[in-house]
């Protein structure tokens, strides 16, 4: 589908005019920044159809000036990928880009850009980010799957944001913190593709409240799971009702046994040493009505497998893996151990988002812009994962063996060359080849027994901690000076 007209809102009237050429030019430029044009694999992940359909579905209206929706999206993406997240730096990059292409420089003031971000609806960012992640996962190489099945890893975390009244109202700080000393905190939950690392979908809510746990957010996101998929999650997702609901949809689960449950391998049907099938009785579920409760079975067949963790120099310990993969011949105990061990990739993916892309502390001062900023980080993350998939496909290796941070650094270094105007297709293809060659150089090893102390050697500057609100501290300073 093509975007046939660009809309202009002026003087209370909606006007339209043909602008296909400019739209396609801006889409191609956005694609070039992430090696999304040419004959490389995965070049249809960020397609013109994806962007145009998102714009048309939302009936976006904008002034046809410098900050069109695609330019605004590109500048916002640059903020997410850059070490300097400021709006001033983002606008400066746009000015440099326009001057390099022989265009008139725009104002260095950030107000026009900030207003353009506000005008774009949140759903545009969410739609493009979701479609990009889902397209990458759908095009994943069959060899990257686990036993020819799609595995989605589920995990959650929190992000902080500026301490403004609007943010505090939407995402209140933890109740343990005194007023004026904490920061608004939002909880996020993400489904990651185990094969290629793409973020398939995400939910955002306040830190605490009814239904705001990771388990509660799972119910909002599990529609992305398809029959035949496997959900890989930590022990907090080991819930009778959720496991049953997913099983009814043809979705298997692999989690760790919740600490409130005890495994007794003397009971049930023995499949092997430390491996058996057991019936879990239906617990009392308060969150459903009586009619739904009567339709639930009294028992649920679950497989429990003991996994022994041995590390040289340390005492051996074991964990219990819980799953609905009941066939011990098709999926052995060793297979389950390896699969649950791969759950750690979800933790690494969250670290890539929060530390490498600096999403742990957001910059926007209103809840709507905060959510847009989160979705922009998700889109940037998925586009980086797309470049990693291109490099992995070219070298016949697994995408998970490539360094995410190394890819971000290499992509940032190649950005000026990839943005040069007037490049011929052959020259651009050569740049892409060199980009992918540089990316696959940075590999990560499989180091399951590595550990490091969570301590800092370099001392921080000795400033006192703020134990009162900023206004109170400033008032005390003025009183001392006065």
Inform me whether the pLDDT recorded for 182 exceeds 50.
yes
Task: Indicate the average pLDDT of the chain.
Answer: 84
Q: What is residue 9's predicted lDDT score, i.e. its pLDDT?
A: 35
Q: Name 375's Cβ contacts closer than 8 Å, sequence gap at least 6.
A: 122, 125, 126, 129, 202
Query: Per the structure, how many domains does the chain have?
Result: 1
Inform me whether the pLDDT recorded for 423 exceeds 50.
yes
Categorize the per-residue pLDDT at 35 as very low, low, confident or very high, splitting at 50, 70 and 90: low
Inform me whether the pLDDT recorded for 412 exceeds 90.
no
In a domain, 300, yes or no: yes
User: Rounded mean pLDDT of 217-246?
Assistant: 94
* Dist CA 408 CA 352 (whole Å): 10
In a domain, 273, yes or no: yes
User: Rounded mean pLDDT of 349-361?
Assistant: 94
Q: What is the pLDDT of residues 263-283, one digit of tens each?
A: 999 999 999 999 999 999 998
Q: What is the pLDDT of residues 80-106, one digit of tens each?
A: 888 888 999 989 988 888 887 788 888
Q: Collapse the DSSP code of 344 into the 3-class scheme (helix H, G, I; strand E, B; otherwise coil) and give the result.
A: helix
Q: Are 191 and 221 in contact (CB under 8 A)?
A: yes
Q: What is residue 1's predicted lDDT score, i.e. its pLDDT?
A: 30
In a domain, 48, yes or no: no
Nearest-CA neighbor of 308 among 328, 335, 279, 337?
337
Alpha helix locations (H) across 44-107?
Answer: 48-57, 69-81, 87-100
In a domain, 277, yes or no: yes
Q: Are 184 and 163 in contact (CB under 8 A)?
A: yes
Q: What is residue 448's predicted lDDT score, i.e. its pLDDT?
A: 63
Pairing verdict, β 5-10 and 185-193? unpaired
Q: What is residue 405's predicted lDDT score, i.e. its pLDDT?
A: 94
In a domain, 290, yes or no: yes
In a domain, 311, yes or no: yes
The boundaries of the domain holding residue 262 are 251-337
Q: What is the pLDDT of residues 137-156, one digit of tens each?
A: 998 999 999 999 999 999 99
Please tell me which residue, 284 or 241, carries the higher pLDDT value: 241
Predicted TM-score of the model (pTM): 0.86
In a domain, 312, yes or no: yes
* Dist CA 40 CA 479 (whole Å): 66
Count Cβ neighbours within 10 Å for each residue of 280-292 and write b for 16 or more, e otherwise: eeeeeeeeeeeee
In a domain, 324, yes or no: yes
């Amino acid at each position: 589908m093509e975007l046939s007209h660009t809309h202009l809102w002026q003087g209370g009237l909606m006007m339209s005019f043909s602008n296909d050429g400019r739209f396609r030019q801006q889409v191609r430029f956005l694609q070039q920044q992430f090696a999304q044009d040419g004959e490389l694999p995965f070049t249809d992940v960020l397609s013109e159809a994806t962007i145009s359909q998102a714009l048309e579905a939302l009936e976006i209206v904008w002034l046809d000036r410098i900050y069109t929706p695609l330019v605004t999206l590109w500048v916002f993406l640059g903020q997410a990928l850059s070490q300097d997240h400021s709006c001033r730096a983002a606008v400066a990059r746009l000015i440099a880009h326009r001057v390099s292409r022989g265009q008139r420089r725009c104002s260095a003031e950030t107000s026009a850009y900030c207003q353009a971000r506000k005008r774009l609806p949140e759903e545009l960012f969410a739609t493009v980010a979701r479609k990009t992640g889902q397209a990458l996962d759908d095009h994943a190489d069959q060899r990257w799957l686990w036993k020819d099945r799609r595995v989605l890893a589920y995990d959650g975390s929190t992000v902080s944001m500026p301490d403004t009244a609007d943010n505090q109202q939407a995402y209140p700080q933890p109740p343990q913190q005194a007023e004026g000393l904490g920061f608004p905190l939002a909880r996020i939950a993400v489904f990651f593709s185990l094969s290629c690392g793409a973020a398939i979908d995400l939910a955002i809510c306040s830190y605490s409240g009814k239904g705001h746990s990771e388990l509660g957010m799972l119910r909002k996101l599990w529609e992305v799971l398809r029959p035949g998929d496997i959900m890989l999650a930590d022990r907090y997702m080991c819930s009778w009702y959720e496991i049953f609901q997913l099983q009814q949809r043809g979705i298997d689960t692999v989690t760790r046994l919740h600490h409130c449950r005890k495994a007794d391998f003397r009971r049930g049907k023995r499949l092997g040493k430390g491996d058996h099938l057991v019936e879990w009785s239906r617990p009392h579920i308060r969150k459903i009505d009586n009619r739904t409760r009567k339709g639930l079975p009294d028992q649920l067949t679950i497989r429990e497998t003991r996994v022994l963790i041995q590390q040289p120099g340390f005492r051996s310990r074991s964990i219990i893996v819980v799953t609905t993969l009941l066939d011990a011949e098709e999926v052995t105990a060793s297979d389950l151990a390896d699969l649950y061990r791969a759950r750690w990739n979800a933790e690494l993916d969250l670290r890539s988002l929060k530390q490498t892309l600096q999403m742990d502390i957001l910059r926007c001062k209103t809840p709507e812009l905060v959510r847009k900023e989160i979705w922009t980080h998700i889109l940037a993350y998925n586009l980086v994962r797309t470049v990693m998939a291109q490099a992995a496909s070219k070298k016949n290796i697994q995408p998970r063996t490539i360094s995410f941070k190394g890819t971000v650094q290499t992509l940032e270094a190649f950005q000026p060359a990839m943005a040069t105007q007037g490049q011929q297709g052959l020259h651009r293809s050569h740049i892409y080849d060199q980009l992918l060659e540089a990316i696959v150089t940075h590999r990560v090893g499989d180091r399951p027994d590595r550990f490091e102390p969570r301590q800092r050697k370099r001392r921080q500057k000795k400033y006192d901690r703020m134990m009162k609100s900023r206004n109170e501290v400033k008032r005390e300073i003025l009183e001392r000076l006065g």
